[in-house]
Amino acid sequence: MVQRLNWGCGLCAAPGWTNSDVTAAPGIDIVRDIRLGLPVNDAVFDYIVSSHSLPEIPYLDMDLVLGELWRVLKPGGWIRLSLPDMNRAIQAYLNNDSSYFLIGDDVVRSLAGKMIVQLTWFGRSRLMFTADFMAELLARNRYRNITQVAFRQTVSPFAEITELDNREPESLFIEASKPAY
């Protein structure tokens, strides 16, 4: 049976997944700050999905978090990350495209303000991402086959790895594998 982890799921626990978040909520199987280590054995999961959770991790803790996800991933396993796409936000800003931003005029009116509030997600996000920056972080943490992929598309052998994809207009999707050795 395929084991799959939905890390940083927030209130969006997915049926059929091991759901993990720092905050307790219905359907959350693992309630723990990943920086303290997940209470599971090594090499448990065939694949891991994380949607918009890494931005809440400070840069100085990023290797620790990616290392912990590496630890619980089986050799030959895959990770799929959905991240706010800083390049798309900058392009929308440069094109004067306020429709791209999810921030209403009741929050902030200026285009620059909308971009800043969205990229920092009201101050919750501590880190911003581009595909090349995420690829660099993954590579230095021993992940391989690092590939930017499209919404609901995968290069992994697990077609269902995309089933938690959401927030297509504002996201970049990137996958990587742990070598099978």
Q: Is residue 112 part of a domain?
A: no
Q: Is residue 67 part of a domain?
A: yes
Predicted pLDDT of residue 88: 95
CA distance linking residue 84 with residue 144, whole number of Å = 22
Segment 40-60 shows an average pLDDT of 97
To the nearest whole percent, how much of the chain has pLDDT over 90? 97
Contact 86, 130 (CB under 8 A): yes
- Does the structure show a pLDDT above 90 at 12? no
What CATH number should be reported for the domain holding residue 133? 3.40.50.150
Whether 77 maps to a domain, the answer reads yes
Percent of the chain residues topping a pLDDT of 70:
100
Whether residue 150 is contained in a domain is answered as yes
If one counts the domains in the chain, the total is: 1
Q: Is residue 123 part of a domain?
A: no
23: in domain: yes
pLDDT grade, residue 123 (50/70/90)? confident
Would the pTM of this model clear 0.75, i.e. be above it?
Answer: yes
SS3 19: strand
Has residue 118 been placed in a domain?
no
123 SS3 class: helix
| Residues in Cβ contact with 120 at an 8 Å cutoff, skipping those fewer than 6 apart | none
Does 111 map to a domain? Answer: no
Structural domain boundaries, residue 79: 4-85+129-177
What confidence tens digit (pLDDT) does each residue in 56-78 have? 999 999 999 999 999 999 999 99
